[in-house]
Structure 1
Amino acid sequence: MQVLIVEDNAELAASIAEFLELQGVCCDFAYNGSTGLKLASEHDYDIILLDLMLPKLNGIEVCHELRQKGCDKPVLMLTAIDTETDQLAGFRAGVDDYVAKPCPMPLLWARLEALYRRSKGHSSVLRVGALELNRDSRRVVREGREICLTPTEWKILECLMMNRGKVVSRIDIEDYVWPDQEADPGRLNVHLHGLRKALDKPFDYPLVHTRTGVGVMIDDASR
């Protein structure tokens, strides 16, 4: 995913980029509306993260100009002024979604992911064999049976299913589930144990596999 961050607060822009880069996102920057409009017009970004209050051109003006030029890329607007009037003006200008500042980084990432999936026509459903994870309904089903998971177990499973058939290092799992916290191997072990108990124990064969010294993977090839 390639994201253009148009935000005049350089410290905030750097913090957002640092978090997004941990998720594998490539970020570019503009610190005023005029530069943001120029970059968004000249480059093929997947998503434009656009502040409302900007020097030279505000976010609504930038979005309006982009839509007039035929740009159909998703625009997620950041605003410290979370009012209905501003949101309506933004939607009329072509904004796809809003996030009010200060915004927790995991929520910002969830909004970006949702916009990216819709723009690319990606399904909100991940599948591994008879296992299905629905990101919209937050349901997990295996062989027709609904699996109850904690939010943390759900996030670990999502990370593994996004990398189906690949070994995911413990560090990468921890960065995905707890991006703003220090690693704690014991904590991950506890949640992996809970995930296996809920996901594999009631069934004939396991889906979650540990590769000692390498990481964890999910696969149904061991049936």
Structure 2
Amino acid sequence: MRVLVVEDDVKMSGLLKRGLAADGLVVDLARDGELGLEMARSSEYDAIVLDVMLPGRDGFEVCRALREDGVWAPVLMLTARDSVDDRVRGLDTGADDYLTKPFSFVELGARLRALARRGPIERPATITVGDLHLDPATRGVRRGDVEIELSPKEFALLETFMRRPGRVLDRYALLEHAWDYGYERRSNVVEVYVRYLREKVDRPFGVTSIETVRGAGYRLRRDGGAVA
């Protein structure tokens, strides 16, 4: 199992290398975020250990850049800061796990082995279908460079479509993913909100992305929209 450790503190990086090597792992070291990015892009790693407090580009920025570059090796972030906001930010930028210093090497090794078993599964922080982009963390939506304002329910419905491009979703599947059980299943709420979405993400741009599949439901085109 080959692991990349991105840590600027010389003493800590040495401890990490020795501790993980004693656990049978092959460890490469990078002392800053830029070098870590370069190494992760050029070599295949089973997991990446990424310190949050790096000089220049911090660990959050490095993790986001890795995902944007299509590097899907599992990432475990290390930090001395134990705030909920930091953990949330790390996970939202594409990290898979989070460990607070000081930590046990036994636990670190076990977490890395668990991450390696998952493998490099694509899980981008931002969902993109064609030129339509959705960021679940910031609740932001844009087509190309144009920001689109959506209500919470419109956002939930669009996210449901964008996580399943090309798939036909019937009204019950859409209700299950975007509404709670308080909604009347026989109402036309799905049809109403699909119409709202089309008015915001399609019509102003002269495209058709959300298609009606007669007798079956709705589908988001894989290309994110065709010229109407």
Determine if contact 2:53/2:79 at 8 Å carries over to the other structure: yes
Query: How far apart are the structure 2 equivalents of 1:72 and 1:118?
Result: 11
* 1:93 partnered with 2:109: no
1:15 match: 15
1:176 match: none
Query: How far apart are the structure 2 equivalents of 1:95 and 1:32?
Result: 17
C-alpha deviations, 1:72-111, integer Å up to 9, x for none?
1000000001111111111111000000001111111111
Give secondary structure in 2 for the equivalent of 1:5: strand
1:79 match: 79
2:70 match: 70
**Post-superposition shift, 1:37?**
1.0
**Counterparts of 1:1-223 in structure 2 under 5 Å?**
1-119=1-119
What TM-score do you get using the length of structure 1 for normalisation?
0.52
* 1:120 to 1:30, Cα distance in 2 relative to 1, 3 A: closer
Query: How far apart are the structure 2 equivalents of 1:87 and 1:23?
Result: 26
Give secondary structure in 2 for the equivalent of 1:18: helix
Query: How far apart are the structure 2 equivalents of 1:46 and 1:37?
Result: 15
Structure 1: give runs of 5+ residues left out of the alignment.
122-223
Query: If you compute each CA radius of gyration, which structure gives the higher value, 1 or 2?
Result: 2
Amino acid paired to 1:46: D
C-alpha deviations, 1:122-170, integer Å up to 9, x for none?
xxxxxxxxxxxxxxxxxxxxxxxxxxxxxxxxxxxxxxxxxxxxxxxxx
Determine if contact 2:3/2:45 at 8 Å carries over to the other structure: yes
**Post-superposition shift, 1:120?**
7.4
Question: How much is the aligned-residue C-alpha RMSD, in angstroms?
Answer: 1.4
2:138 match: none
**Post-superposition shift, 1:29?**
0.6
**Post-superposition shift, 1:61?**
0.3
Query: How far apart are the structure 1 equivalents of 2:82 and 2:71?
Result: 25
Query: How far apart are the structure 2 equivalents of 1:21 and 1:65?
Result: 27
Give secondary structure in 2 for the equivalent of 1:50: strand
Query: How far apart are the structure 1 equivalents of 2:77 and 2:92?
Result: 13
Large movers: runs of 4+ above 3 Å: none
What TM-score do you get using the length of structure 2 for normalisation?
0.51
Query: How far apart are the structure 2 equivalents of 1:120 and 1:76?
Result: 13
Structure 2: give runs of 5+ residues left out of the alignment.
122-228
Amino acid paired to 2:67: R
Query: How far apart are the structure 2 equivalents of 1:72 and 1:58?
Result: 18
Give secondary structure in 2 for the equivalent of 1:36: helix
Amino acid paired to 2:62: V
Pairs aligned (count): 121
